[in-house]
Amino acid sequence: MSLAVFVSQVTLLIAFICVRSSVWIDYSAFSYFEVVTICDLIMILAFYLVHLFRFYRVLTCISWPLSELLHYVIGTLLLLIASIVAASRSYSQSGLVAGAIFGFLATFLCLASVWLSYKISCVTQSTDAAV
């Protein structure tokens, strides 16, 4: 697991705590933000456990690189939308503003994780094909 993934996980947790502990003005916007951050945290943890315990060797019917790429792309897009909605509905409340800022930071870190994963897999595949 790369450093960007670990830092994005910590940032998502901080964003969730900021939004959860603040006073909500618009319930639907912030509950959506909470659901997106928790789902991203759970999925990142699931992929981490798959790599940690090497479940990808047992479950060969699943394309793990493709499923991880799809998770990051979809999760990053949903996190960006949730952060935009949270920022627009925060009404200058410090906890909600902090949650939106950490949401944007986690979005950037998830994009970095996607780029690094794609770069590493493409470089690894092209190097293997050349040998």
Could you read off the pLDDT of 17-60 as tens digits, one per residue?
Answer: 988 888 777 677 788 888 999 998 898 888 888 888 888 888 88
Identify whether 86 is part of a domain.
Answer: yes
Identify whether 69 is part of a domain.
Answer: yes
Angle (CA) 118 78 93, round 5°: 125
Q: In the prediction, which pLDDT does 33 show?
A: 87
Residue 92 has pLDDT above 60, yes or no: yes
Q: In the prediction, which pLDDT does 104 show?
A: 93
Identify whether 131 is part of a domain.
Answer: no
Q: What is the rounded average pLDDT of the residues 49-74?
A: 85
List the alpha helices (DSSP H) in the chain.
3-20, 27-52, 55-58, 64-88, 94-130
Number of folded domains that form the chain: 1
% of the chain surpassing 70 pLDDT: 86
Q: What value does the mean pLDDT of the chain take?
A: 82
The model's pTM is 0.79
Identify whether 119 is part of a domain.
Answer: yes
Identify whether 130 is part of a domain.
Answer: no
**Which of these, 16, 2, 1, lies nearest to 105 by C-alpha position?**
16
> What is the band of 123 on the pLDDT scale with cuts at 50, 70, 90?
low
Q: Where in the sequence is the domain holding 45, given as residue range(s)?
A: 3-125
Cα 117 to Cα 4, 20, 111, distances in angstroms = 10, 31, 10
Identify whether 48 is part of a domain.
Answer: yes
Q: In the prediction, which pLDDT does 80 show?
A: 93
